[in-house]
Each structure stands twice: as C-alpha cells, then as structure tokens.
C-alpha cells in the first residue's frame, strides 16, 4: 500500500518565478480558455461579434459572483450547498415585497438582507454547534427552497418595477453589462481580500490546519462564520441579478446552481480539501465554463449535452496534473 504519506520533499531553493508561472494551474487554465475561444471562433461565424460576446458573459457572471465567496469558504475547509436555495428564498421574498408595493431600492435591500440572513444561519449552525457544513447545508438547502415552495406553490411572482430590470438587463456602456461590471469589481475585491489582507492569510491558515490556526491566535469560528455570511451575501446579490434578468420568481429558480458554482471553484484550482486556491483561477474557470456553454449553444448543442463537456472538463483538468506528475515521477 502506498497510502502512507511520504515525508514532504523540501527543495533547496524555490522554482524561479517565471518557471513557476509557466507551470501553474492558472497557466493551464489560460491555455484551455484560449483553445476553447479559438475553436469557438472557427466553429461558428457568429461567435466573434461584440454582441454575442456580451451575451456570453451572462452565462457566468451570476454564478461567478457566488463562486468567489464559495472559493474562500472551500479554502477554509467548509462548503455551502445551499446557495441556489438562498437565491430562491431571497427571490421569493422580493416577489412578496413587490406584491406589497415595494420600490426598487427596497427590493434590492430585501434580496441582500435575506441572503445575508440565510448565510448567517448556516454559519451559526456550523460554528456554534460544530456541525459538518456539507450536511448542514444539504438540510438548509431543502429548508430554504422548501419555504419558497410553501409560499409560492406552483405560482409565480411577476410585476417587478421597470427600474428593477436594470440590474440583470442593463448595460453600463456599449455592450458592457451591469452584471459584467459587478463581476469584475467583485473579482478585484476578492483577489485583494484573499491574497493581500491578513483576513485572506487566516482563511488559508484555517484550511491548512484549523488546530494550528487556533493556537496561532486565529479566531477560527468567527472567521468561518464571516465566510458563510459572505457566501449568503453574494447569493443574495446573485438573486437580485437573476430575478431582475428573468423578471419573475418561481420556487424552482436557479435549480442546480450549487453544483455548477462548486464545479467552477474546483476547476479554478481550489483544493476541495481546503488550504489552496486563487481568485485568478476562479475567474478563468468562470470564463471557461461560460465559453464552453455559449460556444456549444451557438452550435445548437442542447444544454444537457453541454453538461457532459463541463463534467469531463472538471475531471480531466483535475486528473491531468496528477497523471503528468506520475508519468514524470516514473521516468
């Protein structure tokens, strides 16, 4: 058996930065993204059009926003499967507010607050009661979406105010949508948060060794709680965007998004076991998933077949470096 962990090999000096950059996960993702982009532009004459490229971004902006927070959460060693259910519940609450005559600012506030509240509920269960997050969020996933089903049944909320449509349908400049701008701002904010602040260092420390982090003075529980709140918050924001884009709320809204968000995060090079990952990787993974689904869509490939490509992409991209390392190790 080879399952006994080998003593860690410590090199005399680190790889040169240039060499490290070339063999990094992000570099692999860039190659994949460029390849898919090239294939797409050859496969369909409609691909290289500013307007279709703009449409492309809607494929990943909403899920990408959640993926940033989810990346931090997974790096810290936890997971949140309830994000799509939070979207459904927040959207339902916004729908109720519309029936009561609420205006756009109130709607946005409700979406964000409900998202934050759901995230805090997850965080409390995980950190206060010490429960495994995967089980807690499977439970809250049923609970949150279940509440949406109780309120709505087989009905739908419509009649959102016209000014509300801007968030999901509006353009800031030419073909640059509001969603894309928000995605880019969030990317920068999360990059700074994870890679340039002590909070980010603490997230990595917790993911690598929670006990050691605790003894180093990191407030493990509080940090994790904040990460759950952050994930809820981003789900609330995503809920505002989706509801605004669709202009209606059904309890089945955003069904299955949680697995796509997690696929995005893992494809972006975040270790599902925690402790490693980067925001640049997640941005690239979001782009790749958007490119694949949009390019295949232009070729009239049905959505369910696209999911095969996404699934294969996930497994191959994860397996490739492992196989590569093994082949190099044997020769």
Partner 1 sequence: MKAFLKYREIWLFAAIVVLIGLISTRFPAFADPGNLRQVFNDTSILMILALGQMVVILTRSIDLSMASNLCFTGMVVAMLNAAHPAIPIPLLIVIALLVGLVLGAINGLLVWRLNIPSIVVTLGTLTIYRGATFVLSGGAWVNADKMSPDFIGFQRAAFLGIPVLSWIAILVIALFFVLMTRTALGRSIYAIGVNPTASVYAGIDVGRTKFIVFCISGMIGGLSGYLWISRYVIASVEVANGYELNIIAACVIGGISIAGGIGSVGGAVLGALFLGIISNALPVINISPFWQMAISGSAIILAVVLNARGERQQGRIILRKVEAVT
Binding site for partner 1 (CB under 8 A): 1, 3-4, 81, 125, 127-132, 134-136, 138-147, 149-150, 153, 210-211, 213-214, 220-222, 224, 251, 255-256, 259, 262-263, 266, 272-273, 302, 304-308, 310-312, 314-315, 318-319, 322-323
In the complex, minimum distance from the CB of residue 224 to partner 1, in angstroms, rounded to a whole number: 8
In the complex, minimum distance from the CB of residue 267 to partner 1, in angstroms, rounded to a whole number: 10
- Residue 141 or 227: the one with the smaller Cβ distance to partner 1 is 141
Q: Could you tell me whether strands 176-177 and 171-173 are parallel, antiparallel, or unpaired per DSSP bridges?
A: antiparallel
**Rounded Cα–Cα distance for residues 58 and 144 (Å):** 25
- Residue 47 or 144: the one with the smaller Cβ distance to partner 1 is 144
In the complex, minimum distance from the CB of residue 324 to partner 1, in angstroms, rounded to a whole number: 11
**Residue 121 in tokens:** 């509920």
In the complex, minimum distance from the CB of residue 167 to partner 1, in angstroms, rounded to a whole number: 28
- Residue 126 or 187: the one with the smaller Cβ distance to partner 1 is 126
Strand partners, 249: 157
- Residue 34 or 312: the one with the smaller Cβ distance to partner 1 is 312
> How many Å is the maximal CA-CA distance in the chain?
70
In the complex, minimum distance from the CB of residue 45 to partner 1, in angstroms, rounded to a whole number: 26
Could you tell me which residues come within 8 angstroms of residue 257 by beta carbon, excluding any fewer than 6 positions away? 63, 66, 83, 84, 87
Whether residue 293 contacts residue 91, with contact meaning beta carbons closer than 8 Å, is answered with no
- Residue 205 or 283: the one with the smaller Cβ distance to partner 1 is 205
Name the residue with tokens 């180093």.
Answer: 216
Q: Which residues of 281-305 are buried (b: 16+ CB within 10 A; e: fewer)?
A: bbbbbbbbbbbbbbbbbbeeeeeee
């Amino acid at each position: 058996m080879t399952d006994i962990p080998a003593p860690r090999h410590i090199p005399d000096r680190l790889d040169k930065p240039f060499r490290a950059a070339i063999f990094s996960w992000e570099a692999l993702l860039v190659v994949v993204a460029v390849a898919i982009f090239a294939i797409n532009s050859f496969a369909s004459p409609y691909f290289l059009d500013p307007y279709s490229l703009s449409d492309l971004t809607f494929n990943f902006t909403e899920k990408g926003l959640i993926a940033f927070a989810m990346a931090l959460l997974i790096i810290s060693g936890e997971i949140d499967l309830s994000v799509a259910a939070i979207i459904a519940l927040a959207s339902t609450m916004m729908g109720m507010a519309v029936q009561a005559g609420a205006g756009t600012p109130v709607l946005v506030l409700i979406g964000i607050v409900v998202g934050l509240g759901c995230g805090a509920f997850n965080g409390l269960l995980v950190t206060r009661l010490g429960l495994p997050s995967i089980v807690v969020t499977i439970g809250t996933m049923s609970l949150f979406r279940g509440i949406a089903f109780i309120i709505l049944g087989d009905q739908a909320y419509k009649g959102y105010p016209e000014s509300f449509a801007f968030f999901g349908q509006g353009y800031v400049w030419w073909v640059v949508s509001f969603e894309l701008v928000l995605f880019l701002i969030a990317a920068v904010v999360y990059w700074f948060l994870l890679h340039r602040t002590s909070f980010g260092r603490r997230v990595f420390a917790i993911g690598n060794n929670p006990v050691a982090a605790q003894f180093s003075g990191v407030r493990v529980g509080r940090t994790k709680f904040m990460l759950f709140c952050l994930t809820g918050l981003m789900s609330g924001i995503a809920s505002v965007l989706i509801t605004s884009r669709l202009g209606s709320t059904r309890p089945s809204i955003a069904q299955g998004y949680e697995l796509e968000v997690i696929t995005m995060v893992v494809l972006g090079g975040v270790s599902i076991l925690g402790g490693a990952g980067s925001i640049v990787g997640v941005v690239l993974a979001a782009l790749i998933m958007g490119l694949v689904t949009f390019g295949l869509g232009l070729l009239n490939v049905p959505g369910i077949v696209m999911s095969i490509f996404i699934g294969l992409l996930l497994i191959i991209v994860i397996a490739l470096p492992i196989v590569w390392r093994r082949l190099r190790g044997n020769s």
